[in-house]
């Protein structure tokens, strides 16, 4: 079957993308790694010795950035519905973050230890129905925020992807209810046409 014009255009854009080429040259598994690189360069989120939880981790670009920047001190727990090729210093949990079973596994791995940084780059499976996709993405962000409420250190940080649209203002309000500082980040590796932004919460409110 011949590819559609749109898929051919996407493939050409992907192959010629500067971040894709840079990721290949520098050994990162995805161009998305540079989103976290830019945000961490600005906000200093990753600290050696911390526990980092990476939600929606596959193929592992963000986990790679976290492990490199912790210099062998600390631990990354990565979660995704899809399989991920193993990474040194990363414990991978394959499963659906919406399911209690996965949360139970995370709880056992953490053994009561609070987390220094929670990353969520989770996205829903795209249906092509904007209202449905927005609702699914919002739900994933809400689940990640609930996890952060339960497991984040008081002085920890929470970085979550959110698609601008319905629910954005309400979610920002929820972030501000839970964190002393809330910022919006749109890294250069996030394509201009994409509605995705990253919301950063720091210092949990008592």
Q: Is 166 annotated as a binding residue?
A: no
Q: Is 80 annotated as a binding residue?
A: yes
User: Cβ distance 77 to 107 under 8 Å?
Assistant: no
Q: Is 10 annotated as a binding residue?
A: no
User: Cβ distance 164 to 134 under 8 Å?
Assistant: no
Angstrom distances, CA of residue 136 to CA of 17, 124, 141, 166: 28, 6, 9, 11
Q: Is 121 annotated as a binding residue?
A: yes
Q: Which residue, chain included where needed, has tokens 């920047």?
A: 69
**Interatomic CA distance for residues 93 and 96, integer angstroms:** 9
Angstrom distances, CA of residue 57 to CA of 33, 81, 167: 11, 9, 24
**Interatomic CA distance for residues 66 and 48, integer angstroms:** 9
Which residues does the annotation mark as catalytic? 161
182 three-class SS? strand
Backbone angles phi, psi at 58, to 5 degrees: -60, 135
Q: Which two tokens stand for residue 36?
A: 């976290």
Residues 6+ apart with CB under 8 A from 92: 57, 77, 78, 79, 80, 84, 86
Other C-beta atoms within 10 Å of 84: how many? 19
Binding site for S-adenosyl-L-methionine, residues? 60, 62, 80, 96, 121
Binding site, residues? 60, 62, 80, 96, 121
């Amino acid at each position: 079957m011949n590819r559609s014009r749109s898929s051919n255009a996407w493939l050409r854009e992907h192959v010629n993308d500067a971040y894709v080429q840079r990721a290949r040259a520098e050994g990162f598994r995805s161009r998305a790694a540079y989103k976290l690189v830019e945000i961490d360069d600005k906000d200093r989120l990753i600290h050696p010795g911390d526990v980092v939880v990476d939600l929606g981790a596959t193929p592992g670009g963000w986990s790679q950035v976290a492990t490199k920047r912790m210099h062998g001190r600390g631990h990354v727990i990565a979660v995704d519905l899809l399989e991920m090729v193993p990474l040194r210093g990363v414990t991978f949990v394959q499963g659906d973050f919406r399911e209690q079973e996965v949360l139970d596994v995370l709880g056992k791995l953490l053994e009561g230890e609070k987390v220094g940084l929670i990353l969520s780059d989770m996205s829903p499976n795209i249906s092509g129905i904007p209202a449905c996709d927005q609702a699914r993405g919002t739900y994933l962000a809400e689940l990640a925020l609930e996890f952060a409420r339960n497991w984040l250190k008081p002085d920890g940080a929470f970085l979550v992807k959110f698609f601008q649209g319905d629910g954005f203002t309400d979610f920002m309000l929820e972030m501000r209810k839970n964190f002393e500082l809330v910022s919006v980040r749109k890294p250069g590796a996030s394509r201009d046409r994409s509605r995705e932004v990253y919301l950063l919460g720091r210092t949990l409110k008592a």
